[in-house]
Structure 1
Amino acid sequence: MHYEGPIYRPPSEADSLLVQATVGCPHNRCTFCMVYKGGPRYRVRPVADIVRDLDEAAERSGGEVRTLFFPAGNTIAMPTDALCRICRHARKVFPHLERITVYGSSQYIHKKGLHGLQQLADAGLTRIHVGLESGNDAILKAIRKGTTAAEQIEAGQWTLAAGIELSLYVILGIGGVAGSVSHATSTADVLSRIVPDFIRLRTFVPKIHTPLLQMVENGRFQMLGPHGVLREAALLIGHLDADAQLTSDHYTNYINLDGRLPECRNRLLGEIDTALKRPERDFRPFFVGHQ
């Protein structure tokens, strides 16, 4: 098995086999992300090398693998034919495989088009984890996400239409104090129009070696405190109109929120209201992220 550069996977892929398909991230401009700022540069591993790793993993495991994740940061950007080939090979050598998953940004999903996504679904790709971050165009531009709300909506709708599960990540607080309300309401609107399978909440933590940390330090970006983040979460959940599983499975969050929308909306809002009665000093302290 061969790995190069930082290897990250979603918490929900903790038990998955990790076979690296790409290196780095083809966009690598997001102001909040530190993962690949120091390299390596983006490239797609040769299909033959990925196949060898799959074969090695199959031999070691006796083919008893049920979930597979293909790192690195934006594997959906690899050529459709190549990604289809490794998905099909994985299905061949792991006969009990239930899920094949990748990371993918909306702009690269959008480039596939519905036809390309259908090809990937037919080859065995079952889920894409997407950093939506925000549904507000001004915030997306400010954080250099490289996409727009309209593009994210279309990419998400195409993914679901192709029969691929969609897990969307939202960063609470990424609009700062000034953009909190517009971030929450615009993001709720985008999520409601996509209706993903999963909505996963993260809380903005400034990371080392990132432009957004510099903005925090020089006062150009005013972060929300714990109560501000919780109020933003309540506004987001209150405006959501989607049948989706919402979860906050991440160490950055102030409280754990988990439930099926819309039936769990009132319970989730009640949990936030209870948390807001606690003084801010009771929540985790401010910190700068190193991973």
Structure 2
Amino acid sequence: MGEELYELPKGWVWVTLDSLCTAIGDVDHKMPKAQETGIPYISTRDFLDNGTINFENTKKISEEDYKKLCRKIYPEKGDILLSRYGTVGEVILIKTDNIFQASYSVAIIKPVLYQINNFIATALKSEIVQTQIRKYIRGVAQPDLGLGHIRELYLPFPSLTEQYRILEKIEELFTQLDAGVELLKKVKAKLKRYRQAVLKAAVEGNLTKEWRTAHQGELEPASVLLERILKQRREKWEAEQLAKMKAQGKTPKDDSWKLKYKEAIAPDTSNLPELPDGWCCNTVRLRIL
């Protein structure tokens, strides 16, 4: 991995994740028994997109099983969780005092200093580290990331003062991004209303009002077009009926079969808005199959 590392700003150093932590581990892979009440036993499915844990529907385990699992390692406020099975590479900085245990699908990372945990969590989410994670993933059907590879992850590491400044700047920029997202949502809603307004203007003839005025006398009235469409509609129906009778080996004796044709329903225009000159109104029949 060393040959892939880029030159850092003056005062920064490349470090392995293991060198910044007192422990990186997971619990025993034997699944504890679930019960209705008890201590939350989270997995990657309880990770939320906003970087927090959803404790509402987590699996619950007994206090006895919890204590057994804690002999190896347990999560505390300030620790970092890294998903290592299934969906690999999701990061959560624990900001709660809630007592819980994490399944073996999650690596528990314990930074040496509480002051650097936020920067480490941020670095783990960055593309430089996520690229390393993708490189180390094993398996296809059930991807997993080994603890040994997690310990070997390289992180760019600045001074504590600069870490604080970086985190402040990230918060500032993310706040701006969130504001931008909200603005886009409002713009999207306005665009939807605008689209509807354009469509309304289109079917009312307002979009082509000036064009219609400029081409008066040149346009075929819609009533003439409708008459031609209705004629073709009847002709098509008759052709289809003749084809069916022919396929059944039948020959019509007279034109009485044509009486079965259903004329198009004339619309009731009494409550409809006035249309532009040359337009007409008609109904649309939907055939439900």
Q: Which has the higher contact order (CA 8 A, sep 6+)?
A: 2
Considering only CA atoms, is the larger Rg found in Structure 1 or Structure 2? 2
**Shorter-chain TM-score: what band?**
under 0.3
TM-score when normalising by structure 2: 0.20
